[in-house]
Structure 1
Amino acid sequence: MAESKAQEAAPEAEKEVRVDNAVDADEKLDHKLDEKAKVADYKADAIEAENAEHNMTVLQAVREYPMASFWAFVMSFTIIMESYDVFLCNNFLALGAFRAKYGQPVDDNPLNNVIVTKWQSALSVSGQLGALVGVCLAGSLTSWLGYRYATLTGLMLLNVFIFAFYYAESMPVIFAAQILEGIPWGIFIANAPAYCSEIVPIPLRAPCTQMLQMFWAIGSIIVGAVTYSYQGLDSPISYKMPIALQWMFPTPLAVLIFLAPESPWWLVRKGRLQEAEHAVGRLGRKSRLNAGETVAMMRRVVELEATAKAPSYVELFKGTDLYRTLIVCGVYAAQNLTGNLIANQAVYFFEQAGMSNKTAFAMGLITSALQMIFVMLSWILTTYLGRRTIYLWGSAINVIFLIALGIAGSVGRSNASNLAQASLGLIISVLFTLGPAPASWVIIGETSAIRLRPLTTGVGRAAYYIVEFPCIFLASWMLNPEGGNLAGRCGYVWAATGFVCYVLAYFFLPEMKHRSYREIDILFKRKVPARKWKETVVDIDDDE
């Protein structure tokens, strides 16, 4: 009897199991359909946001994202501090009171003391040595803390390190203080181009990242004006006051950076989508943009790049990311090989033309002011003509003028040749800030993958410093009467290195104008040749 009941119950149990399995299968199917529907909705939002950015004009972008432009301006302002101090130390070598305190005597007048060559060289590279450490730290620090808190850390450290410089009583202490100050500079220079390129829409990426070059020029103008004002004093105040004025930057900037929104791209990478929407809302006019669609666009790119691993420096040197890293490193390094050092030596050429030290100093200020104006002109050219176009044409024209400088220095010493060298030094200094220099900041901000951006910009700037160190010593040796004594003939050397940079850029530098970060990722993955980027079409539905 019990067996018959068990036999009757077995089919019923099997029916229940089949029903439960069918219910589970239906639930799984419904879940998959829901997931597909969510993905379809989020992709539709992403496409809508990307199309909206592509269709924006520059003026529309400014109207819809006014605060994005403002916060990019604030972050770019951090570059003034590196520019200020780099030029400050070089200017101190010409200050009589500074030489009297730290130099070696050559006669009975302490104002004629000379800073020995080894300390001149050490001061020229001390800040950059610290910045090299800073950029290496910046990538990991920013990936962990975000752009805001990494930059705040640098600003607070700089406030402390300025004390070491101000109270230094010997050259070794000044050297150490400059290395310490350089560490925050490295954080600023690594973060600024990445942050600026991430918080603005496509039409504003060029002008907002190019502000970095403008602020570099402003920093040199400020320090030039300050040291020019105090150079006539024979007391320690002539160099103490310019050092103390560094404190006017970090604290106000720290307050503004604290109030700034975090990069929404960084927040999306961390999976903090609600915070990313809030950040987007703070960057633009809420009445004119859909923050949810913008975050969907960012999420689409981040998931396109997603891997199971955390970002690491090793990834920068694998696959297509190696190509992207080499572009960033190459563009950074080329700044030292295509006219930048000539720009920094403009005052020397004015002195060689027979101008007094005071007049040459004033002409250096005028050069810096012209550089700032030409950077603003480059906003228009780079936005409408493209990054590759401006970079290549600017580099080619630079090479031509460098050869002309070499010829002017080869025809023998005369008043005419000296004036020609001074004029060409001025032209090269100014044109460098119209083409290669500002275009390179846009390229640096756009080239790297979103998930690796803090690391890539840090490594790229490290390449800049590694190339800069030998170039500084080479430039000093070439112009020193007791060294190479080449004067304007140094133009031949920089023309040669500039030509190599031009050829490499022609074959390997792609045009990223009007490209979204999704399109840039896809074009790199497809391994499209650099010269073909402009004509290659990427469908709005493509995900690779």
Structure 2
Amino acid sequence: MNDTEKYGGSPEVMSDVPKGTVGHDAQAVHLDDLDLKAHLTDYKADAIEAENAEHNMGVLEAVRAYPMASFWAFVFSFTIIMESYDVFLTGNFVALPAFANEYGEVNPATGAKVIVTKWQSALQCCGPLGALIGVTIAGPITSRIGYRYTFIGALMLLNVFIFVFYYAHTMGVIVASQILEGIPWGIFIANAPAYCSEIVPIKLRAPATQMLQMFWAIGSIIVGAVTYRYNGRLDSSAYKIPIALQWMFPTPLAILIFCAPESPWWLVRKGRLEEAAHSVARLGRKSRLLNPKESVAMMRRVIDLETSQKSPSPIELFKGVDLYRTLIVCGVYAAQNLAGNLIANQAVYFFEQAGVSTNTAFALGLITSALQMIFVMLSWVLTSYFGRRAIYLWGTAWLIVLLIATGIAGSVGKSNAASLAQASLGLIVAVMFTAGPAPVSYSIIAETSAIRLRPLTTGIGRGAYYIVNIPCIFLSSYMLNPTGGDLGGKCGYVWAGTALATWVVAYFFLPEYKGRSYREIDILFKRHVPAPKWSKTIINVEDDE
């Protein structure tokens, strides 16, 4: 075995690398600086230097060293707005009078038209069903062609599928359009946390991945503002205009992403070392803190630790220590549905069923979304100081208390005070969810998976989210709908029970990744260190196993 094969490259790939320079801009990395043969002999020393440099950076220092990495993480995270926008849009349509008048049926009890339970549930779960398809295909496609081209293809497909939604005239076609739109959403949500975690240094991994939840909140703010503006209209423009506004996003984002650097980790996995060095140079600014040669060496060291030279296979996700990592990712994703997320996603409808007026419900929904964005940014600070595990456990514990309180408020009888209490607690639950379990979940998901299996792991993890999400949507819709369970705030008891179950599992099995390099994470998993002991376990910088 020659040196190139040993460290993750291939003779064919390496022979295709152009001589001269890796890049063409002011931060170009010359072959003289990246002498591959010399680099192979000094491989571990360079890797240690790069890892130590990342460990020694502060958060602000990391931002200054990697300004473009922060920017590109922002751009790729922005794609989540589109899933958020449509999820909250269809949720708000259920409470929109014009939409109910067009597609609803008369409720015998009130004489008003409502979207019946079966269509309400279908409208909520068709997007996740399509996204389940998207996350299934995201991993294999990304492993083959990279993050950039996978995102661009998904954005172009989304442009087409929005036409189906806009020109739909029956609930059946609307449901079909949401299944189609869900396919690109699945690709975005599977790949965005993985890409963001791969282009930033250790200290920025939490903010970069938690940005996804911020854009989820921004999407709901846009929807809240638009539907609040048009909910008083009784013609089709009340829902047609919000649908058409989806076209604002895909094409500009596709152009930006075309200009983005590919993940250097993906390039190293493919053996395209000079391109990886150029990508690292594009992500940071030229300084003593950024040495592309050493950064590539660090990546190669981690990938070499994962030992397998064959192409990533989904079967590997269910073998050995990778099975544990897969279960953590799937569990954290699935748990998002069990700790108040459904109240957050159906906030406006929840407020209506709690007894407040339609206009007030939409206003409260908009306030909730704005507060969610603020609290997501607060979670960046909290996670940086206290770590992933601590924020996840404490955040879930607070949600359990709040959900029980919501159930109590819904159990004291119908009155103006009880309605306000339920609406207020529902708002707090939705906001607290985005200060704790929701944003930190994306950091955990991105950091748990092995580098070489990351696109596959994040894809199957999001698939687990949708598998749990779909029946939970039916349950949530049934509990809230006046033609179903009509539980109102009493549904808090149900979600408190499921949230408690997720807390217990997380306490025993969720590790702490704060301040850990991907090499250290790999070693801790291979040593089978119990999750509660991760934060106290020391890994030597020389260790490779």
TM-score, length-scaled by structure 1? 0.90
Q: Which has the higher contact order (CA 8 A, sep 6+)?
A: 2
* 1:412 CA drift (Å): 2.6
CA spacing shift, 1:537–1:460, aligned 2, 3 Å: same
Could you tell me which residue of structure 2 aligns to residue 243 of structure 1?
Answer: 243
The Cα RMSD (Å) is: 1.9
Paired positions, count = 508
Is 1:50 the counterpart of 2:51? The answer is yes
Give CA deviations for 1:96-139 in whole Å, capped at 9, x if unaligned: 433343334679xxx95443432222111111110000000000
Greater helix share, structure number: 1
* 1:423 CA drift (Å): 1.9
Could you tell me which residue of structure 2 aligns to residue 512 of structure 1?
Answer: 513
* 1:473 CA drift (Å): 1.0
Could you tell me which residue of structure 1 aligns to residue 480 of structure 2?
Answer: 479
Is 1:124 the counterpart of 2:124? The answer is yes
Give CA deviations for 1:174-213 in whole Å, capped at 9, x if unaligned: 1111111110000000000000000000000001100000
Give CA deviations for 1:281-330 in whole Å, capped at 9, x if unaligned: 00000234111000100011011113132111111011000000000000
Give CA deviations for 1:15-48 in whole Å, capped at 9, x if unaligned: xxxxxxxxxxxxxxxxxxx999754511100000
Could you tell me which residue of structure 2 aligns to residue 200 of structure 1?
Answer: 200
Q: Do the aligned residues in 1 keep the contact of 2:227 with 2:362 (CA within 8 Å)?
A: no
Structure 2: distance between partners of 1:207 and 1:228: 30
Could you tell me which residue of structure 2 aligns to residue 503 of structure 1?
Answer: 504
Q: Do the aligned residues in 1 keep the contact of 2:334 with 2:464 (CA within 8 Å)?
A: yes
Structure 1 stretch 226-235 or stretch 249-258: which is displaced more? Answer: 226-235
Could you tell me which residue of structure 2 aligns to residue 262 of structure 1?
Answer: 262
* 1:73 CA drift (Å): 0.2
Is 1:466 the counterpart of 2:467? The answer is yes
Could you tell me which residue of structure 1 aligns to residue 172 of structure 2?
Answer: 172
Structure 1: distance between partners of 2:509 and 2:118: 39
Give CA deviations for 1:346-397 in whole Å, capped at 9, x if unaligned: 3344335543210111011001100100000000000111000100111111
Name the amino acid aligned to 1:176. A
Q: Do the aligned residues in 2 keep the contact of 1:352 with 1:422 (CA within 8 Å)?
A: no
Q: Do the aligned residues in 1 keep the contact of 2:101 with 2:113 (CA within 8 Å)?
A: yes
Name the amino acid aligned to 2:135. V
Could you tell me which residue of structure 1 aligns to residue 390 of structure 2?
Answer: 389
Structure 1: distance between partners of 2:107 and 2:433: 39
Structure 2: distance between partners of 1:406 and 1:83: 27
Matches within 5 A, 1:29-68: 39-68=40-69
Q: Secondary structure at the match of 1:411?
A: coil
Between Structure 1 and Structure 2, whose CA radius of gyration is higher? 1
Matches within 5 A, 1:82-481: 82-104=83-105, 113-288=113-288, 289-352=290-353, 354-481=355-482
Q: Do the aligned residues in 1 keep the contact of 2:92 with 2:349 (CA within 8 Å)?
A: no
Name the amino acid aligned to 1:427. I
| Identity of matched residues, % | 75
Structure 2: distance between partners of 1:59 and 1:170: 52
Could you tell me which residue of structure 1 aligns to residue 12 of structure 2?
Answer: none
Structure 1: distance between partners of 2:36 and 2:71: 38
Q: Secondary structure at the match of 1:335?
A: helix
* 1:91 CA drift (Å): 2.0
Could you tell me which residue of structure 2 aligns to residue 70 of structure 1?
Answer: 71
Structure 2: distance between partners of 1:416 and 1:235: 34
Structure 1 stretch 66-75 or stretch 288-297: which is displaced more? Answer: 288-297
Q: Do the aligned residues in 2 keep the contact of 1:96 with 1:112 (CA within 8 Å)?
A: no
Structure 1: distance between partners of 2:416 and 2:243: 38
Q: Do the aligned residues in 2 keep the contact of 1:106 with 1:113 (CA within 8 Å)?
A: yes
TM-score, length-scaled by structure 2? 0.90
Structure 2: distance between partners of 1:104 and 1:191: 40
Q: Secondary structure at the match of 1:336?
A: helix
CA spacing shift, 1:360–1:280, aligned 2, 3 Å: same
